[in-house]
Amino acid sequence: MLSIGTLSKKTGTKVQTIRYYEEIGLLPRPGRTAGGQRRYHPHDLDRLAFVRHGRQLGFSLDAIRELLALSDQPQQPCAAADSIARRQLRQVEQRIARLSALKQELERMITECAGENVAECRVLEVLRDHSECLTDHDNIGA
C-alpha cells in the first residue's frame, strides 16, 4: 500500500496533480486509512505512470482517457489507439512546422538588429510591420 507521497515521488507528479486526476476520474478513488489518507495499490502506480507518460508525449487528458479505456479492454482491435497516436503525431508535426517558421523569423529579427536604438530596431520593426505578418489567423498555441 502506497501513500500519495510515494506515488508522487515515483512518478514525478505533484501530490495535488494526483488528487486532481482522481477528481476528474482519470484515476480510481483509492482506499483510505482509518484517518482518511489515500492508500494505493501498485496497479494505481502503473496507471498514473501511463497517464504521465502520455502527457509527456503531448496527449491531452481526454486522449489519455480514451487510451486508458482501450487498454482496459485488451480484446479490442488496436486501430483506435493507432488513430489516436496518428492524430497526435500530426499535431506534433504541425507544431514543429509552425515553431520552425517562428524560429526563422526570430533569427532574422535578431541578426538584422543594428543594435543602435529602438527607432531602428529590427525586432520591433518586424512586429510593427503588418506586411510581414504570418497570414494564419487562427490558433497560436506556440
Partner DNA sequence: GCAATATCTTCAGTGACTGAAGAGAAAGGC
Partner DNA sequence: GCCTTTCTCTTCAGTCACTGAAGATATTGC
The pairing of strands 38-39 and 31-32 is: antiparallel
Measured between alpha carbons, how far is 46 from 53 in angstroms, rounded to an integer? 10
Task: Evaluate whether 39 touches 31 at the Cβ level (below 8 Å).
Answer: yes
Residue 28: contacted member of a second copy, DNA, none (CB under 5 to 8 Å, by partner type): none
The footprint of a second copy on residues 67-86 (CB under 8 A) is 67, 70-71, 73-79, 81-82, 84-86
Grid cell locating 28 = 480510481
Q: Which amino acid is at 115?
A: G
Measured between alpha carbons, how far is 105 from 100 in angstroms, rounded to an integer? 9
**Cβ closest to DNA, residue 36 vs residue 115:** 36
The footprint of a second copy on residues 23-62 (CB under 8 A) is 46, 49-50, 52-58
Q: Does residue 94 bind DNA (CB under 7 A)?
A: no
Q: Does residue 4 bind a second copy (CB under 8 A)?
A: no
**Cβ closest to DNA, residue 119 vs residue 142:** 142
